[in-house]
Amino acid sequence: MNSELSMSDLAPLETAHVILRLEHDPQGLTLHWDDGRRSRLHALWLRDNCACPQCRHPQALERTFMFIDHSTPAIASAQLDQGGVLQVRFLSGDEAHVSRFSTGWLRAHGCALDALPERRGGRVLWDAGLGQHLPTIDYADYIATGEGLRDWIEAVQRHGIVLLRGVPTEPGQLLEVTRRVGPVRTSNFGDTYDVVSMPNPNASAYTSLGLELHTDLANWHSPPDIQLLFCLKSSVTGGDSVFADGFRVAEDLRLADPEAFELLSTQELEFRFHDASCDIRASAPTIAVGRDGQLQRIRFNNWLRSPMVMAESLVGPMYAALEKYWRMLRDPLYGLHLRLEPGCLIAYDNSRVLHGRTAFDPRSGERHLRGCYLTLDDLQSRLRLLERAPLKA
Amino acid sequence: MNSELSMSDLAPLETAHVILRLEHDPQGLTLHWDDGRRSRLHALWLRDNCACPQCRHPQALERTFMFIDHSTPAIASAQLDQGGVLQVRFLSGDEAHVSRFSTGWLRAHGCALDALPERRGGRVLWDAGLGQHLPTIDYADYIATGEGLRDWIEAVQRHGIVLLRGVPTEPGQLLEVTRRVGPVRTSNFGDTYDVVSMPNPNASAYTSLGLELHTDLANWHSPPDIQLLFCLKSSVTGGDSVFADGFRVAEDLRLADPEAFELLSTQELEFRFHDASCDIRASAPTIAVGRDGQLQRIRFNNWLRSPMVMAESLVGPMYAALEKYWRMLRDPLYGLHLRLEPGCLIAYDNSRVLHGRTAFDPRSGERHLRGCYLTLDDLQSRLRLLERAPLKA
């Protein structure tokens, strides 16, 4: 791999697009692409991202150039060579420096915001209708092929839920499936936990009660991102699984009742779980929204919700807003009902998809799910490695 | 323990304060405390927090009462008994319900915002002067006594940094120290990692280069909260450790240059680490600030900073703002310099305290630090368990 053209990136950075022409001045340059896009690149931005061995550590690939130790760079010249490599000559005080940028890198990293949508995977919001075409992957494909693994990860990113079927019904298989993506995210419930009805439960999950739709571990500052539930036994009466896309419901609430949405997205609620071995508390809004208005995380868990701390005048409206969201979650329009059979492993994005179950009769048979969590960073990293073509095989 | 008075809490909820009188109407009640505080409590808030065995699972301690399945409650009567227990009788449609609240619980949980400061631990911002009185704990106290452990945790919460001295210089001791608080937070560098100069480093830390002040793993959506670095060998020339309170510097920046602070706290930067085994990326502001204006997390890492993605007109101001913060970080006014000797274990809040080192000569001797991470939730939980007096012994 040509280290200059790879721009210190282990993945190939290719693009079908061509730079038709460029203009430069001391403060920056403008690229004119064949699809009409114009990328204006600031001189310091370009200089700061130089990938030559003086500016990035050649093994660590990390930036060693520290812009604050140099005076402001000015572009002295800029030209494209026939291979599509942009060569820029900078002057900065008495220093001169030449940097080279590949077309693929410039297309992928252009600082303009219009490059962002190309980088972000599409998210598809869903309702109960997804039950007809739930993303489903065969275990054999998942465990043995890069394509199966990639399809599984992309389903988690796109729909926030994916079913794996045909998993051998041995308890250890959950970790086999998980390890293909990354290390288990541990919690106060351990690396893995067995969802069965227990005589002295420390959580409602470990009873035979029906469970309203909820997100797990809302009481952590960073709740787990991805949850996996592996069905080992399922002979009881009742105990069906229910899922809903909390983002779909939140977007519908945003349209139907902007004031309720505003309250749920700005006012924090408090959550807590405590037993003999831990006491874990965090506060956060029910619907976390980024500065760009994009939904980031749903926290909804009636069991773990602690007393609200807010001005008394907000308490009534907050309960009303919570009720509105909760009633929408209960609407059959949104809920996806599923009977997990032994060998089924359902995975879903706990920051977005709520899960629950119907009550079951523990004397009617057995019900045993084994669960664990994964971290989004590990999931995304695995997908990027799969896309790093030269290392894919 | 009296389950009514414990309010489903495993910790004792006591208060020296007394409720002098109360007023109620159907929508809520007002408590008048002996120190002048008035707590106005909404009827639904009270009803929702009932801790009786019908409303909370008696073993799981979790709320099973679901307010949306009941009509709006009205307070029919409210009185304090001689033991300081508030008894409230609710009517809700045709239903009646009696709830009991202990004075200690009411003082600790009153929904009014004025109760908040009592619950939040004080945070002390510091500068280089802390070097004269760096919080320091003896390993023997930490490992064998609840007081030592509590002092250590409180130092992490208060100053964001604490030195443990006298740790036996065996590599396994790092995990012994960590386990006393909670499970290790793993990362792409493993559960623990050895900070030594390596021939083919995948990160700048594994060279003998000087390291500017930075926070670790800025490229993760949730960077690790607490970092521990245990010194096993320290005979090289150079390689001193440097720390700075990023919150202190950020608060000073907020006063000195509000525009720079605004940019750094609203515009996200992108971060990335990638090597043969991972490619982990996240974007976040340099200075994360809550809706209440409180500082939440610093991300500052020049090695891992990826090309900025923002309107070109913001690029220049962003570099200027970054430079401002960076120059302040370099100011000797803020930097705490420390020579870690074998047996020293320094722990700091990676969401707040930046760390770095001076360059060292790898031929002059040995330098070996072993590091790992802990999660804030586990740290806070451990402290709450220590404060849960009946279980303390």
Q: Which member of B206, B221, B391 has the closest CB to residue A376?
A: B221
For range A20-28, the mean pLDDT: 96
> Who wins on pLDDT, A391 or A229?
A229
Q: What distance in Å separates the CA atoms of residue A178 and residue A184, rounded to the nearest whole number? A: 7
Q: How far is B118 from B100, CA to CA, in rounded Å?
A: 23
For the stretch B140-150, pLDDT in tens is 999 999 999 99
Structure confidence by residue, pLDDT tens digits, B317-352: 999 999 999 999 999 999 999 999 999 999 999 999
Pick B312's closest partner by Cβ from A112, A315, A384.
A112
Residue A383, number of CB atoms within 10 A of its CB: 20
Span B198-234, pLDDT tens digits? 888 888 888 898 999 999 999 999 999 999 999 999 9
Interface of B with A in 312-331 (CB under 8 A): 312, 315-316, 319, 322-323, 326-327
Give mean pLDDT, residues A196-212: 88
pLDDT score for B93: 86
pLDDT band at A382 (very low <50, low <70, confident <90, very high): very high
Q: Buried b / exposed e across A122-139, counting CB within 10 Å, b at 16+?
A: eeebbbbebeeebbebeb
Report the alpha-carbon distance of residue B68 to residue A319 in Å, rounded: 9
As beta bridge partners, residue A97 has: A90
Helix, strand, coil tally for chain B in percent (to 5): 30, 30, 40
| Cβ-defined contact of B303 to A62 (cutoff 8 Å) | yes
Q: What is the pLDDT of residue B2?
A: 40
Q: Could you read off the pLDDT of A213-223 as tens digits, one per residue? A: 999 999 999 99
Q: What percent of chain A has pLDDT over 70?
A: 94
Q: Where is pLDDT greater, at B122 or B177?
A: B177
The string of pLDDT tens digits covering residues A115-168 is 565 555 689 999 999 999 999 999 999 999 999 999 999 999 999 999 999 999
* H or E element in which residue B360 lies: strand B360-361
Integer CA distances (angstroms), B199 to A45, B207, B217, B231, in order: 31, 8, 22, 21
**Would you state the pLDDT for residue A173?**
97
pLDDT reading at A82 higher than 90 = no
Q: List, as ranges, residues 239-258 from B with C-beta within 8 Å of A.
A: none
Query: Do B283 and B220 contact (CB within 8 A), yes or no?
Result: no
Average pLDDT over residues A328-338: 97
CB atoms within 10 A of CB A143: 18
Reference B102, options B24, B1, B27; nearest CA is B1
How far apart, in whole angstroms, are the C-alpha atoms of residue A28 and residue A47?
A: 10
- What pTM, to 2 d.p., does this model score? 0.91
Q: Cα dist. A208→A183, A217, A357 in Å?
A: 30, 19, 10
Lowest mean pLDDT among A41-50, A193-202, B69-78, B125-134: A193-202
| Chain B residues lying within 8 Å of A8, measured CB to CB | none
- The DSSP bridge pattern shows strands A241-245 and A353-357 to be antiparallel
* pLDDT score, position A15: 87
Under the banding of pLDDT at 50, 70 and 90, the label for residue B15 is confident
Would the pLDDT of B89 be above 90? yes
Please answer whether residues A295 and A349 qualify as being in contact, where contact means their C-beta atoms are separated by less than 8 angstroms.
Answer: no
Question: Are residues B10 and A276, on separate chains, in Cβ contact within 8 Å?
Answer: yes
- Please give the pLDDT value at position B122: 82
Share of chain A above pLDDT 90, in %: 81
What distance in Å separates the CA atoms of residue A160 and residue A151, rounded to the nearest whole number?
12
> H or E element: which one contains A347?
strand A345-349
Window 53-112 of B, Cβ < 8 Å to A: 57, 59-64, 66-68, 109, 111-112
Residues of B in contact with A388 (CB under 8 A): 279
* φ/ψ bin of B190: left (φ > 0), alpha (ψ from -120 to 50), beta (otherwise): left
pLDDT exceeds cutoff 50 at A3: no
Count Cβ–Cβ pairs < 8 Å, chain A vs chain B: 207
Instruction: Name residues whose C-beta falls within 8 Å of residue B267's C-beta, 6 or more positions apart in sequence.
Output: B285, B310, B314, B318
Q: What is the pLDDT of residue A148?
A: 97
Cβ-defined contacts of B173-176 (< 8 Å, 24+): B173/B230, B173/B345, B174/B228, B174/B230, B174/B345, B174/B370, B174/B371, B174/B372, B175/B372, B176/B143
Q: Which amino acid makes up residue B179?
A: R
Q: How many Cβ atoms are within 10 Å of A378's Cβ, its own excluded?
A: 23
* pLDDT for the residue B121: 61
| CA separation for the pair B119, B111 (Å, rounded) | 12
Q: Which residues in B lie closer than 8 A to residue A40 (C-beta atoms)? A: 312
Q: Where in chain B is the domain with CATH 3.60.130.10?
A: 128-387
CA B57/CA B34 separation, integer angstroms: 33
Q: A46 to chain B: nearest residue by CA?
A: B307
Residue range B345-369: average pLDDT? Answer: 96
Region of residue A204 (phi > 0: left; psi between -120 and 50: alpha; otherwise: beta): alpha
Given a contact cutoff of 8 angstroms between Cβ atoms, the answer to whether A96 and A76 are in contact is yes
Is the Cα dihedral A216, A222, A226, A228 positive or negative?
A: negative
Please answer yes or no on whether A60 and B384 come within 8 Å at the CB atom: no
Parts of chain A belonging to CATH 3.30.2020.30: 19-119
Closest by CA to B281, choosing from B188, B346, B169, is B188
Put simply, the chain B residues between 273 and 312 with a CB less than 8 A from any chain A CB are 273-282, 291, 302-312
Contacts of A381 in chain B (CB under 8 A): 188, 278-280
- Hey, of B107, B202, B279, which one would you mutate to test binding to chain A, going by the most A CBs within 10 A of its CB? B279
Tell me the residue type at B311.
A
Calculate the CA A89 to chain-centre distance.
39
A48 touches chain B (CB under 8 A): yes
* Res A122: pLDDT: 82
Which is more confidently placed, A4 or A382?
A382
pLDDT tier, A242 (very low <50, low <70, confident <90, very high otherwise): very high
**How far is the CA of A66 from the CAs of A70, B303, B324, B379, in angstroms?**
8, 9, 13, 35
Interface probe with B: pick from A64, A68, A71, most Cβ of B within 10 Å: A68
Q: What's the CA gap between A69 and A195, in Å, rounded?
A: 56
B303: left (phi over 0), alpha (psi -120 to 50) or beta: alpha
Strand (E) or helix (H) holding B345? strand B345-349
Does residue A304 carry a pLDDT above 50?
A: yes
Out of A10, A206, A307, the one facing B45 most closely (by C-beta) is A307
Torsions phi, psi for A224 (to 5 deg) = -60, 145
Give the angle A314-A315-A321 at the CA atoms, nearest 5°. Answer: 85
Q: How far apart are CA B314 and CA B328, in angstroms?
A: 21
Highest mean pLDDT among A372-376, A383-387, B194-198: A372-376
Instruction: Tell me the residue type at B138.
Output: D
pLDDT(A393) > 50: no
Amino acid at B322: L
CB atoms within 10 A of CB A21: 9
> What pLDDT sits at residue B118?
52
| B337 reaches A (C-beta below 8 A) | no
Query: What does CATH list as the number for A19-119?
Result: 3.30.2020.30
pLDDT band at B6 (very low <50, low <70, confident <90, very high): low
Given a cut of 50, whether residue A352 has pLDDT beyond it is: yes
pLDDT tens digits, residue range A163-192? 999 999 999 999 999 999 999 999 999 999
Which residue in chain A is spatially nearest to B39 when comparing CA positions?
A: A312
d(CA A40, CA A20): 14
**ipTM of the complex as predicted:** 0.91
Nearest CA in chain B to A43: B316
> CB–CB of A310/A271 below 8 Å?
no
Over 70: is that where the pLDDT of B256 sits? yes
> Residue A10 pLDDT > 70, yes or no?
yes
Look at residue A282 in the predicted model and tell me its pLDDT. 95
Q: Which of residues 121-180 of B touch A (CB under 8 A)?
A: none
Q: How far is CA B304 from the centre of its chain?
A: 23
Which is it for the CA torsion A45, A47, A51, A57, positive or negative?
negative
In Å, the largest CA–CA distance within chain A is: 83
A393 vs B: CB within 8 A: no
- What is the average pLDDT value for chain B, to the nearest integer? 92
Q: What is the mean pLDDT of residues A263-288?
A: 95
Average pLDDT, chain A: 92
CATH node for A128-387: 3.60.130.10
Number of neighbouring beta carbons within 10 Å of residue B97: 18
Cβ atoms of residues B280 and A381 within 8 Å: yes
Q: Which residue shows structure tokens 């030269």? A: A390
Residue B292 banded pLDDT, cuts 50, 70, 90: confident
